[in-house]
Structure 1
Amino acid sequence: MTEPEVPQSDDVVARVLASAETRASGYALFRSGSAQALQGETSTGEHDGEQQDREDRNALRRVPSLSTELEDVTEVEYRQLRLENVVLIGLYTQGTVADAENSMRELAALAETAGATVLDGLMQRRAKPDASTYLGKGKAEELAGIVQAMGADTVIADTELAPSQRRALEDVVKVKVIDRTAVILDIFSQHAKSREGKAQVELAQLEYLLPRLRGWGDSMSRQAGGQVGGAGAGMGSRGPGETKIELDRRRIHTRMSRLRKQILEMKPAREAKRANRKRNAVPSVAIVGYTNAGKSSLLNRITRAGVLVDNSLFATLDATVRKSTTADGRLYTLTDTVGFVRNLPHQLVEAFRSTLEEVADADVIVHVVDASHPDPVSQLATVRDVIGEVGARDIPELVVFNKSDLIADDDRLVLRGLQPRAIFVSAHSGEGIEELLAAIAEILPSPQIELDLLIPYERGDLIALLHDQGRVLSTVYAETGSQVKALVTPEIQAQFTPFLSVPAARS
């Protein structure tokens, strides 16, 4: 195949290096300034704890001017990966230019989180993607010119490309082409820490890779089987006839089966902890939201959990559970969950279904939205779609607009119109935290069954349970034990049946 002709005029170079602007033809060239701002310095406070994971996370940052080649074996633990230079592409079939640009900004942030430098971007409006190269033929050739002029080594598409589209586009631009799903999977691969999280990510990667296996040259050609004719065939070439791709596919299926088995084996321990909380009637609150909405910061502000806070996408992959109490002393748990993103790969939703069970079993969902985001409506819709997929749509939802210290009063009015009952908070400044805690306490299941009990002094565990899971109205210390009047929930009522007494005496 001959090399495609690339425009070399000064006009092309000037256009590529110019600032972004909408073209008269309906195309827009995207620049990554907003995405770079997203990846700026992370501000943390005393409420964020010691942030012990930050040093490990920063050690994995990809930096320019460093080769992936190791000059000495001692560099293995400290190496940093070379930055890839990428060009973004996207097309939109409906909606506005602003919606398409927001999606491209998010893709730029994803690329930078994965460790790439975004050089430029190209958007196109089409009725539907080209079946061959995703972009139209002319636009694909224009992209090849931009890639060559900018010195890019990767092209990232703002969608999930079909394997044939990726191969055809690579043939035109002559560099590696990946899609949005591959970038998200790469980020998850870098950030997963727990054994279960790593297994879930690997499973999602293999499910994504399976239909995209491809071969190069004779090493992938079919082995001869049965009667064979032609030059170079005959004795010694007869065999089972399995291709290299089929062999790889079988190995991937085997590995996926093992990973699914491992994830199932981890499930009982998680279910045992959840069952223990249910048996003790400990209500649970799940913190969900779009990635980088500030869920971990909010958890740290309430519980000083010390969860990693980073101004990047998908900083949290492993669920974190912490205890908290209401103003009247009721115990409950707060769970920080993995963030969501638009067009979240279905492989990840399936692979992380076991983790998302924490959301489905919660008593209250705290839905955190980034108030400073240019498109909070799409964030709300995306997260609610995933909530519905895991069967948690009927659980009480409390919408919280975080980062309220970064927005103007006019923006608050707009957001208030969007969600009239929402609470505005700032995990950084502490604004609205008390209001949020009061709202959580109001929604959580409250003990309603009144009991008069005579509890022996040696059963201090029951007294502690009343304080944690019920509401003690009065206590009188008698000769044979504590006479307690309390409100309890149906879940723990049976434990106190043997200790029912006449109404407690008034002090």
Structure 2
Amino acid sequence: MEEAPHRLDDELDAVTADDLDRDRGRAGNETGGRAADAILARVLSRAGTAVSEGGTLDTDYDGDQYDREERAALRRVAGLSTELEDVTEVEYRQLRLERVVLVGQWSRGTVADAEVGLRELAALAETAGSEVLDGVLQRRPHPDPATYIGAGKAEEVRDLVKAWGADTVIVNDDLAPSQRRALEDVVKVKVIDRTALILDIFAQHAKSREGKAQVELAQLEYLLPRLRGWGESMSRQAGGRVAGGEGIGSRGPGETKIELDRRRIRTRMAQLRRQIKAMEPARAVRRERRLELPNVAIVGYTNAGKSSLLNRVTGAGVLVENALFATLDPTVRRSQTPDGRAFTVSDTVGFVRDLPHQLVAAFASTLEEAAHADLILHVVDAAHPDPEGQIRAVHEVLSDVPGAMAVPELLVLNKCDVADHATVLQLRSRRERTVEVSALTGEGIDGLMDVVGEMLPRPGVRVELVVPYTRGDLVSEAHTHGEVLAESHEADGTHLVALVDQALAARLKASAADAS
């Protein structure tokens, strides 16, 4: 038998007394002044999750951070909207988030797990530029096929929206097109699901030409089955030569307005796929140049500290922000191991639970960086309430990238300066090799670099020869791309003992033979 839906207030009975806030106050829906209880306060504050209270912390390794100032220079102003109250009164309505109410649902696990998911949705909503007003958490064995949350719950959400004056409802799941339409018809405001929210964030943060094309392709793939029209305009037809007034016998079935929109979307998607494919040769050339050096790919859950770690290791100065999906366009920088070997470090887009499959497909070229790497640095937020869940989410995405799971992986337990000791001990017991660091304070970075130097592949050809002084470029290349074991200067040239790859070994032997 299906359990009755209820609001977050009703979940307090399932939480231990230690979790309860003593001064809970609630007002009725009629007054619109419903105060948050302990659970709701934790959801809206997102304390201890990816985005917590307080500003973004950065260090001197993060550079000037001009991108963050530019991103923060334009903010939405609440209360200026003049849109119609009933979404069904307009034919098209532009997606924008201002004052939102969250809706979550869970069928397994504990209420704490469900809270973590809703806190993450609140962080996503604020990253997109909205103001989170309230949240509804429902437990039921499976979603309602009509409205996702059931007719009674939908009416309760409608009352909640009216009391708060909200203009958007965000559902923490993927909605079928019919479910979204039915829920909109009840609550009378815009309803979007988790996928649309993530796509909106990506659209805001994409800067490169390829990134913008990938995001637009993912958005169109999401939009295609969800086109909706109101009124007669979407069903008008004209075919054959009827527009010319030729009348009976000249008419064809024609296209409805919605069919015309679908055809235009498919045409645009084909154009974007061709554009992205045309970018592959240039990307392959850049990758081949980088493959001369060992490559390390940084992957991890969104806001785990990947960009901060990149800045700490390479001094790249890329954007660091206390927000989800702050980094979208990949960054490649150069660094070196403690023994002097050079390697490249690639920063990638962050992952999230249930990452929309449209994004995984559209960003396949970006995710390929992990498959072509010699080592994957999997950055984990050790201070998060559910780091094991984040690790599983990252592995699920990597499993969709051919060859990525075969690359050696090093778990980097970030934020160890504020993480719970018991959680760190649990993460240490995993089968993957682990290193504890704090990208903010620099703690553990030297040990991380030692492990990276140990795990990166070493050149396999040993050479011992005298390189003429006229070929100092080869000696420099041996230092950069190989491992110099011994070096001394003699009358005829530089006596070199080193481990190098086969191509460099052949050039070194050729230069030594010419000198003799």
TM-score by structure 1 length?
Answer: 0.87
Contact 1:283–1:363 (CA under 8 A) maintained in structure 2: yes
Partners in 2 of 1:188 and 1:128 — Cα distance? 29
Partners in 1 of 2:431 and 2:117 — Cα distance? 23
C-alpha distance 434-10 of structure 1, shift in aligned 2 (>3 A): closer
Which blocks of at least 5 consecutive residues in structure 1 are unaligned? 1-8, 23-27, 70-80
Matched, 1:97 2:111: yes
Contact 1:39–1:112 (CA under 8 A) maintained in structure 2: no
C-alpha distance 164-407 of structure 1, shift in aligned 2 (>3 A): same
Aligned match of 1:445 in 457, 464, 474? 457
Match of 1:482 in 2: 494
Contact 1:294–1:370 (CA under 8 A) maintained in structure 2: yes
Contact 1:224–1:237 (CA under 8 A) maintained in structure 2: no
Q: C-alpha deviations, 1:359-403, integer Å up to 9, x for none?
A: 110000000011111110110000011111112101110001111
Match of 1:5 in 2: none
Partners in 2 of 1:109 and 1:377 — Cα distance? 19
Matched, 1:241 2:254: yes
Match of 1:164 in 2: 178
Q: CA deviation at 1:419?
A: 6.3
Matched, 1:267 2:280: yes
The one-letter code matched in structure 1 to 2:339 is D
Q: CA deviation at 1:483?
A: 2.8
Contact 1:357–1:390 (CA under 8 A) maintained in structure 2: yes
Contact 2:27–2:33 (CA under 8 A) maintained in structure 1: no
Match of 2:405 in 1: 393
RMSD: 2.9
Contact 1:223–1:239 (CA under 8 A) maintained in structure 2: no
Partners in 2 of 1:237 and 1:224 — Cα distance? 11
What SS class does the counterpart of residue 324 from structure 1 fall into?
strand
What SS class does the counterpart of residue 260 from structure 1 fall into?
helix
Aligned match of 1:20 in 15, 37, 45? 37
1:224-303 to 2 correspondence within 5 Å? 224-225=238-239, 238-278=251-291, 280=292, 282-303=293-314
Partners in 1 of 2:192 and 2:506 — Cα distance? 58
The one-letter code matched in structure 2 to 1:475 is E
Q: C-alpha deviations, 1:62-84, integer Å up to 9, x for none?
A: 34355699xxxxxxxxxxx9961
Q: CA deviation at 1:327?
A: 1.1
Partners in 1 of 2:127 and 2:450 — Cα distance? 35
Partners in 2 of 1:153 and 1:439 — Cα distance? 51
Matched, 1:41 2:76: no
1:420-459 to 2 correspondence within 5 Å? 421-459=433-471
Match of 2:505 in 1: 493
Greater mean deviation of Cα atoms: 489-498 or 253-262: 489-498
The one-letter code matched in structure 2 to 1:207 is E
What SS class does the counterpart of residue 182 from structure 1 fall into?
helix
Q: CA deviation at 1:55?
A: 1.8
Matched, 1:374 2:388: no
The one-letter code matched in structure 2 to 1:267 is E
C-alpha distance 237-178 of structure 1, shift in aligned 2 (>3 A): farther
Aligned match of 2:200 in 186, 197, 203? 186
Q: CA deviation at 1:31?
A: 4.2
The one-letter code matched in structure 2 to 1:269 is A
Partners in 2 of 1:275 and 1:331 — Cα distance? 16
C-alpha distance 41-419 of structure 1, shift in aligned 2 (>3 A): farther
What SS class does the counterpart of residue 429 from structure 1 fall into?
coil
Partners in 2 of 1:210 and 1:283 — Cα distance? 41
Partners in 2 of 1:356 and 1:110 — Cα distance? 21
Greater mean deviation of Cα atoms: 265-274 or 395-404: 265-274
Greater mean deviation of Cα atoms: 115-124 or 60-69: 60-69
The one-letter code matched in structure 1 to 2:396 is D
Q: CA deviation at 1:314?
A: 0.3
C-alpha distance 447-31 of structure 1, shift in aligned 2 (>3 A): closer
Aligned match of 2:76 in 62, 85, 105? 62
Q: CA deviation at 1:308?
A: 0.4
Partners in 2 of 1:253 and 1:132 — Cα distance? 28
1:411-422 to 2 correspondence within 5 Å? 411-418=423-430, 421-422=433-434
The one-letter code matched in structure 2 to 1:457 is Y
Match of 2:361 in 1: 350
Q: CA deviation at 1:60?
A: 3.2
The one-letter code matched in structure 1 to 2:181 is R
Q: CA deviation at 1:449?
A: 2.1
C-alpha distance 219-29 of structure 1, shift in aligned 2 (>3 A): farther
Q: CA deviation at 1:87?
A: 0.6
Q: CA deviation at 1:13?
A: 4.6
The one-letter code matched in structure 1 to 2:358 is Q
Partners in 2 of 1:273 and 1:388 — Cα distance? 25
C-alpha distance 83-355 of structure 1, shift in aligned 2 (>3 A): closer
TM-score by structure 2 length?
Answer: 0.86
Q: C-alpha deviations, 1:393-416, integer Å up to 9, x for none?
A: 011100011111112434433333
Match of 1:77 in 2: none
What SS class does the counterpart of residue 56 from structure 1 fall into?
helix
Instruction: Give the length in aligned residue pairs.
Output: 474
Contact 2:468–2:512 (CA under 8 A) maintained in structure 1: no
Partners in 2 of 1:119 and 1:342 — Cα distance? 23
Greater mean deviation of Cα atoms: 360-369 or 492-501: 492-501
Contact 2:241–2:250 (CA under 8 A) maintained in structure 1: no
Q: CA deviation at 1:158?
A: 0.5
Matched, 1:365 2:376: yes
The one-letter code matched in structure 1 to 2:270 is S
The one-letter code matched in structure 2 to 1:295 is K
Match of 1:110 in 2: 124
Partners in 2 of 1:90 and 1:149 — Cα distance? 19
Partners in 2 of 1:31 and 1:337 — Cα distance? 28
Q: C-alpha deviations, 1:146-166, integer Å up to 9, x for none?
A: 111111111011111111000
Q: C-alpha deviations, 1:284-318, integer Å up to 9, x for none?
A: 00000000000000111111101000000000001
Partners in 1 of 2:195 and 2:437 — Cα distance? 32
Match of 2:157 in 1: 143
Partners in 2 of 1:202 and 1:421 — Cα distance? 38
What SS class does the counterpart of residue 124 from structure 1 fall into?
strand
Aligned match of 1:51 in 46, 49, 65? 65
Partners in 2 of 1:147 and 1:68 — Cα distance? 17
Q: CA deviation at 1:479?
A: 4.3
C-alpha distance 347-83 of structure 1, shift in aligned 2 (>3 A): closer
Identity %, equivalent residues:
60
The one-letter code matched in structure 2 to 1:173 is V
Partners in 1 of 2:33 and 2:119 — Cα distance? 18
Partners in 1 of 2:425 and 2:31 — Cα distance? 42
Q: CA deviation at 1:423?
A: 1.3
Q: CA deviation at 1:464?
A: 1.0
C-alpha distance 30-176 of structure 1, shift in aligned 2 (>3 A): farther
The one-letter code matched in structure 2 to 1:464 is S
What SS class does the counterpart of residue 170 from structure 1 fall into?
helix
The one-letter code matched in structure 2 to 1:164 is S
Partners in 2 of 1:292 and 1:418 — Cα distance? 22
Contact 1:203–1:260 (CA under 8 A) maintained in structure 2: yes
Partners in 2 of 1:90 and 1:473 — Cα distance? 60
